[in-house]
Amino acid sequence: MISLINPTNFNKLSEKIIQFIGLFSLALFIVGIYWGLVIAPIDYQQGEMVKIMYIHVPSAWMALLIYSFITLMSIITIIFRNPITVIAAKSAAPIGLIFTLSVLLTGAIWGRPMWGVWWVWDARLTSVMFLFFIYIGYILLLRSQNTSMKSEKIAAIYAIIGFINIPIIKFSVDWWNTLHQPASILKIDGPSIHSSMLYPLIIMFFAFSILFLYLLLLSMRIELIKNKIRAINQRRINDINN
Amino acid sequence: MGTYLAIIKRDLVISYKDGDHIAMGFGFFLVIISLLPIGIGSDIDILPKVGPVLLWIAFLLTTLFTISRLFKDDHVDGTMDFMIMDSAIFEIIIICKVFAYWISITLPLIIVIPIMSILLNISMDLILPITFIIFISSPAFVFIAAVGSALTLGMERSGILITILILPLYIPLIIVGISATNINVIGINSYSVSVMLISGFSMLSIALAPFLISLILRTNSY
């Protein structure tokens, strides 16, 4: 695990496992989507519409999980100034942005037939929308200056400040009366969802997580290659100047 | 102690000598507030309902657009580096600078809020509560915005970026603040509870923001 901190070791290891991770995610998606869309029962109130849950809920978990991951990487960046964690946080942000967008879109599609409106300004929906804005702000902050340890550290501080939104999202359904239903899986007295729907949901969650890992490794490798190109160009400029 | 008072005095003198900056913030505030009645037109019943929200939004945008200058001049001419290296505590220097900003830009806005409330047809017994709640939330507004100012230091177009970065962090404050004087908004519908929560937010941001800002500015100056 420690040896992964070295970019060269990371490159070697990720090259070996990245194909395997991608295929594993694909297999989980096939199983999860088939189980969720075909085998799993329909809801007696919502009918077939309940099946959007198999995309909506895992996307929401991933949006929160990826932001927590960015925060963790940012803390490590500030303490140890490690190049790999900087690249990990940087690469994870666009993926998290896409998952957040996916939650908002599938939620709107689900909300239209169930609540009668595409969007309501209640606590859960609004706080997720602000997670979307925080992702955008973080990415803009990373891109606004030339790549340097300084700007990456400043973006890391912003990511840590923005983490304040994550508990607000998680507990918004408990603290305020909202149209969005309260938590039904991560509860103290066990999930309140039947196992015939719970198992495909869990498989979809793992499929999404492995997909995130795959995309993360892919974009981290791209970022490392970009860094290498930048270093080579810099060296060439220095040679010309000398 | 003398150092800190001198910094407050210096910042106040600078901002009043260069009065354009204060006038610009003030004018921005008034223009935003006068836009909505123009848009609504003759429908006089809507104005008192949306008036308090409008006051909040105008106040918030004025803070966010004027704060980008807070550390800029000191950063450009190198004073910031001396402040960091000085024997005086840098966090308290930051508090002094933000306090001077609050006196020169925010306080005039708060004073003018009752007058604008009358223009917006807000009922008389709501004017004082609204002004008071904006007054006690202003430290939180200013200190959180100062974090954004530090984050975007040395960038071009920092004003817009500050808005994107910092607005999400204002949400709890806005929800509690607006629901204090409006029973139709989600949240806590009791004035005294809102006042206590907002005081808490303000205290928390006065306590935490200087450390964050100092961390960011130190990172920036190396």
Residue B164 to chain A, least CA–CA distance (Å)? 6
* pLDDT above 90 (res B87): no
Separation CA A214–CA A31 (nearest Å): 18
A47 bridge partner residues:
A43
ipTM above 0.85, yes or no: no
Q: Does residue B206 surpass a pLDDT of 60?
A: yes
Q: What is the DSSP letter of A183?
A: P
Interface of B with A in 51-110 (CB under 8 A): none
Q: Does position B209 have pLDDT exceeding 70, yes or no? A: yes
Share of chain A above pLDDT 70, in %: 87
Residue A43 located in a structural domain = no
Q: What's the start-to-end Cα distance of chain B, in Å?
A: 27
**Would you call A136 an interface residue with chain B, using a CB distance cutoff of 8 Å?**
yes
**Is the pLDDT confidence value at A219 over 60?**
yes
Q: Which residue has the tokens 């790999």?
A: A84
Amino acid at A74: S
- Interface A–B counts its CB contacts (< 8 A) at 57
What does residue A104 show for φ and ψ, rounded to 5 degrees? -65, -40
On the question of pLDDT at A77 being above 60, the answer is yes
Q: Which tens digit of pLDDT belongs to each residue from A141-169?
A: 888 765 566 778 888 999 998 898 888 88
| Number of domains making up chain A | 1
Task: Read off the pLDDT of residues B112-152 as tens digits, 9 standing for 90 and up.
Answer: 999 888 888 887 888 888 899 899 999 999 999 999 999 88
A95, A219 in Cβ contact below 8 A? yes
**Strand, helix or coil for residue B212:** helix
Task: Answer yes or no: is pLDDT of B103 > 80.
Answer: yes
Of B36, B60, B47, the C-alpha closest to B134 is: B60
Is the pLDDT score of B49 beyond 90? Answer: no
Q: Does A191 touch chain B (CB under 8 A)?
A: no
Contact between A152 and A161 under an 8 Å Cβ cutoff? The reply is no
Average pLDDT value for residue range B26-36: 87
pLDDT of A178 over the 70 cut? no
In the 3-class helix/strand/coil scheme, how is A206-235 assigned residue by residue?
HHHHHHHHHHHHHHHHHHHHHHHHHHHHHH
- Residue extents of the structural domains in chain B: 2-221
The mean pLDDT of chain A is 84
Q: Average the pLDDT over A215-230 and give the result.
A: 90
Residue A9 lies in a domain: no
B91, HSE (Cβ side, Cα atoms, 13 Å): 9
Q: How buried is B152 (Cβ within 10 angstroms: 0-12 exposed, 13-18 middle, 19+ buried)?
A: buried
Using DSSP, state whether A43 is helix, strand or coil.
strand
* Domain boundaries, position A98: 55-183+196-232
Report chain B's mean pLDDT, rounded to a whole number: 85
Please check whether residue A211 lies inside any domain of the structure.
Answer: yes
Residue of chain B nearest A132, judged by CA positions? B168
CB within 8 Å: B169 and A176: no
Check whether A114 has a pLDDT greater than 60.
yes
Residue B215 pLDDT > 80: yes
Residues B25, B109 contacting (CB under 8 angstroms): yes
Domain assignment present for residue A240? The answer is no
User: Is the Cβ pair B151, A168 closer than 8 Å?
Assistant: no
Model pTM score:
0.86
Is A27 part of any domain?
no
Q: Where are the beta strands (DSSP E) in chain B?
A: none
pLDDT of residue B83: 85
B-chain CB neighbours of A131 within 8 Å are: 168
Query: pLDDT above 70 covers what percent of chain B?
Result: 95
Question: CB-based burial of residue B64 (10 Å sphere; 0-12 exposed, 13-18 middle, 19+ buried)?
Answer: buried
Chain A environment of B164 (Cβ under 8 Å): 133, 136-137, 140
The band of B101, judged by pLDDT with boundaries at 50, 70 and 90, is very high
Are B166 and A164 in contact by the 8 Å Cβ rule? The answer is: no
Q: HSE (CB half, 13 Å, CA atoms) of B221?
A: 21
Which DSSP letter does residue A47 get?
Answer: B
On whether residue A14 sits in a domain, the answer given is no
The candidate with the shortest Cα–Cα distance to B136, out of B200, B66, B64, B211, is B200
The CA dihedral of B175, B176, B182, B184, to the nearest 10 degrees, is 50
Q: Residue A85 falls within a domain, yes or no?
A: yes
